[in-house]
A = this chain, B = another copy of it.
Amino acid sequence: MAEQAVSTPTVAPPQSDQVVACVAYAGGKRLGTVEIDDISEILKFEGQFIWIGLYEPGEELLRKIKEEFGLHELAIEDAHTAHQRPKVEEYGDSLFVVLRTARLLEKKIEFGETHLFVGKRYIVTVRHGASSPYTAVRIRCESSPQHLRMGPGFVLYAVMDYVVDQYFPVIGELEEILEEIEEVVFAGTFGRDTTERIYDLKRQLVDLKRAVSPLVDVCNRLIRFDLGLIPAEAQPYLRDVYDHAVRINESVDLLREMLSSALEAHLSLVGVNQNEVTKKLASWAAIIAVPTMVAGIYGMNFEHMPELRWQYGYLVALGVMAGACGMLYAWFRRSGWL
């Protein structure tokens, strides 16, 4: 029932204020949705665990959950205010994981946050800002009981895998933008907006880097942690997520490197173009200046200028001008200035 509400989030509002889902599992199988107030009942039975999904929860709800699972006040504060950087922290026998999520909306990256509280018998996911609900993750987990049997550690993996995999289309989009920039740069139309687009992409890459780079660290530390929370058979799965995070991180670095190369190429081409323009300017200036000078000479008012009285003086003068222009044109052409 709660599940239904989640699967069509745009129509039905979530169950109770910001609780998206609260489900109990045992032996890799779903027992059913639970009311938040009945959690302590469930936790009495060995081998069961609870997965609570929240979206931008209020203070009261978080306080209830804090008391239920004995979480640390600082972690709860973080989960309330959001705007944390990705990290993983131990509080006694529970883990607190912060992830940044990314989503494409109309070719723009939107960042969100997910906070996870993981204990032996529970996992709480808290979503903030622009982020897709984890219904798909829940369905995937429930469809493979042999994995879900590992407990909250596997759910942690499944959520992280989902979060990390959503970065791939973002990278793809940015790669496309880079390609467009490359095209514009090498097409040789040096509008001002080329620089602006490069700057915009740069900013997006810096933001992305800031989200992705600590993610690699989080994955790495989770692999190393030895808390009993993450069973040995879940390790290869976390290593897989780590691998994806490293690949995304590498892609961001590569994009940054190619972007700054593109900017360098842009600068270099602007310089080359300036060169060409100046050469063209100089060539045409010369081609026009020569006949002007000749005309100036025959415009002088000396009394004794024999050419002025020649029958064909004018034509010869015009011919000289045209000839000079033609020769200059040919010469500049050959030198590659025109």
Contacts and interface: CB of A to CB of B under 8 A. Distances in A.
A69 interface: no
Interface in A249-287: 250, 254, 257-258, 261-275, 277-282, 284-286
State the main secondary structure of chain A at its contact with B: helix
B272 A190 contact: yes
Interface residues of A, number: 87
Contact of A292 (B196, B199, B261, B289): B289
Interface in A219-275: 236-237, 239-240, 243, 246-247, 250, 254, 257-258, 261-275
Contacts of A321: 297
Contacts of A310: 302, 304
Interface stretch (A35-43, A82-90, A99-107): A82-90
A195 B190 CA distance: 15
A288 interface: yes
B284 A284 contact: no
Interface stretch (A48-56, A115-123, A311-319): A311-319
Interface stretch (A12-20, A57-65, A202-210): A202-210
14 contacts: A74-B239, A85-B247, A188-B192, A190-B272, A190-B275, A199-B265, A275-B277, A278-B281, A289-B289, A291-B293, A291-B297, A292-B292, A299-B299, A300-B317
A67 interface: no
A84 B269 CA distance: 36
A171 interface: no
Contacts of A298: 300-302
A307 B303 CA distance: 9
B291 A296 contact: yes
A186 interface: yes
A314 B318 contact: no
- Count chain B CB atoms within 10 A of each CB in A87, A258, A278, A311 and give the residue with the most: A278
A221 to B, nearest CB: 13
A205 to B, nearest CB: 10
B313 A246 contact: no
B258 A268 contact: no
A295 B300 CA distance: 6
A129 to B, nearest CB: 17
A8 interface: no
A321 B291 CA distance: 15
A167 B43 CA distance: 43
Contact of A279 (B202, B268, B277, B285): B277
Contact of A295 (B91, B243, B246, B299): B299
Contact of A308 (B247, B292, B302): B302
- Count chain B CB atoms within 10 A of each CB in A89, A250, A254, A277 and give the residue with the most: A277
A166 to B, nearest CB: 17
Given A282-B284, A309-B303, A318-B297, A243 B87 contact: yes
Contact of A304 (B72, B189, B191, B314): B314
A198 interface: yes
